[in-house]
Amino acid sequence: MEITAAVLERVGEPLVLRALDLEPPRHGEVLVRLLASGICHSDLSLMEGKWPAPLPMVLGHEGAGVVEAVGPGVDETRVGESVVLTFTPGCGRCRFCLEGRINLCTSAARSMDDGVLEDGTTRLSLNGQAVHHLALVSSFATHAVVPAAAAIPVPRDLDPEIACLLGCGVLTGFAAVTRRAAVSPGDSVAVFGCGGVGLATIAAARLVSAYPIVAVDPLPEKRELALRLGATHAVDPVDEIGPVDIAFEAAGIAAVAEQAFRATRTGGKTVLIGQPALGVHASFPIYELTQFEHDVLGTHIGGAVPALDIPTIARLLQAGRLDLGPLVTHRFRLDEIDEAIAVAVSGLAGRVVLDTGNAWREGANVRLVRNQDGGEP
Ligand SMILES: NC(=O)c1ccc[n+]([C@@H]2O[C@H](COP(=O)([O-])OP(=O)(O)OC[C@H]3O[C@@H](n4cnc5c(N)ncnc54)[C@H](O)[C@@H]3O)[C@@H](O)[C@H]2O)c1
Ligand SMILES: [Zn+2]
Ligand SMILES: [Zn+2]
């Protein structure tokens, strides 16, 4: 079938909207009609060439949609299911899956490196030339073919523009708090960087009754947003911060990682979520690390088990225990991808979400959604 997708053809250049060919789902796969896709900073890092990727590639790894068809071996009743896509479904066979560390699955890592599905091939092509998948997902598109296990069922009435964020940013912040850092009620927390990931970390810290929750960001708009999502204090990075029990780095800047370390108390944890370019180093003083039993933890998706954690977050959203509404500050159609990327690059957005359900090529049923205040984004 023909689909519309935003393709990274060359590093450092804008994405190109293309009509691509998408093969039907093979054994164990499903076809998903995408409704919404968030833009994560990692998409921007790929565009900037901060880490290598096989090109051309359809970007986007925060997708939500509806199962439209199933391949051989997949239960027919899944058609019509509302789903969130995950980039680590877990192969169930590698040592990390067997240890329950699904986020480190070697099969998913291989798919991510090579830009292919689990059988080592792509379903996407342009004029017969293979186009790569980003991390099994490729959600800057009207449709995607993904492993059936990578399409996690969520309640039908969950708003797609929030649901899609459960694929990466929200899942990462939530699991970083609940799993990797194991924050307890009353723990003091600082979150450096209030983008989609940092704001989700703040919302999760509130959920588990951390106190205080200090948001750190140079932009006043982001500090304001952080207070709405559950921060109890919001400060500029030039201010005196800490010491706190647990400091999260969600900016992806080496100097900020070092600052987060300095803001962590004796016996505390510094949790690194942000990812700068490949090869970037930070330095931590060994005397303090040893003498004060200071843990520095790196994390991929917060240590999430997506098939467990995505439905859990969905349930908490439905129950009103978690309110992520303020997170989505900007909405664009897929054909407005350049503007959407520009807003994401500005750092001013909580999350920018693409409305992929209203394909520009179809022309019909186009819903032009602007800023919440009705103004230009
Ligand atoms: N480890 C993982 O599994 C994982 C998952 C998702 C994203 N990421 C990474 O997390 C990082 C954040 O992603 P995002 O989508 O939230 O990014 P974003 O661009 O939306 O947000 C980054 C925020 O950092 C702030 N910032 C800039 N300089 C700062 C400073 N000196 N001190 C404090 N804050 C500062 C910006 O103002 C902005 O609000 C990125 O590096 C991304 O690649 C990692
Ligand atoms: Zn991401
Ligand atoms: Zn595995």
Do 149 and 199 lie in a common domain? no
Q: Is the pLDDT of residue 361 over 70?
A: no
Q: Which ligand is nearest to the CA of 96?
A: 3
Residues with CB under 6 A from ligand 1: 40-42, 45, 168-169, 172, 192-198, 216-219, 222, 237, 250-253, 256, 273-275, 299-301, 347
Among protein residues, the one whose CA lies closest to atom 25 of ligand 1: 193
Domain with 53 in it: 2-167+324-355
CA atoms within 13 A on the CB side of 102: 17
User: How confident is the prediction for the chain on average, in pLDDT?
Assistant: 94
Do 285 and 228 lie in a common domain? yes
pLDDT tens-digit profile of 322-336?
999 999 999 999 999
Among protein residues, the one whose CA lies closest to atom 34 of ligand 1: 193
CA 232 to chain centre: 24
Number of compact structural domains in the chain: 2
Q: What is the CATH number of the domain that holds 180?
A: 3.40.50.720
Cβ 20 vs Cβ 125: under 8 Å: yes
Among protein residues, the one whose CA lies closest to atom 5 of ligand 1: 301
Query: Is 198 in a helix, a strand, or coil?
Result: helix
Q: Is 151 inside any structural domain?
A: yes
pLDDT for res 98: 98
Q: Is 21 inside any structural domain?
A: yes
CA–CA distance, 362 with 330 (Å, rounded to integer): 23
Cβ 293 vs Cβ 267: under 8 Å: yes
pLDDT for res 234: 98
Residue 293: other Cβ atoms inside 10 A: 10
Distance 247 CA to ligand 3 centre (A): 29
Do 188 and 88 lie in a common domain? no
pLDDT for res 358: 64
Q: What are φ and ψ of residue 199, in 5° steps?
A: -65, -35
pLDDT tens-digit profile of 48-70?
999 999 999 999 999 999 999 99
pLDDT tens-digit profile of 6-62?
999 999 999 999 999 999 999 999 999 999 999 999 999 999 999 999 999 999 999
Q: Which stretches within 176-285 are classed as H helix? A: 196-207, 220-228, 254-262
Distance 327 CA to ligand 3 centre (A): 31
With b for 16 or more beta-carbon neighbours within 10 A and e for fewer, the 53-65 pattern comes to: beebbbbbbbbbb
Cβ 330 vs Cβ 340: under 8 Å: yes
Do 134 and 274 lie in a common domain? no
Distance 101 CA to ligand 3 centre (A): 8
Distance 364 CA to ligand 2 centre (A): 30
Q: What is the CATH number of the domain that holds 97?
A: 3.90.180.10
Q: Is the pLDDT of residue 190 over 70?
A: yes
CA–CA distance, 351 with 165 (Å, rounded to integer): 8
Do 178 and 163 lie in a common domain? no
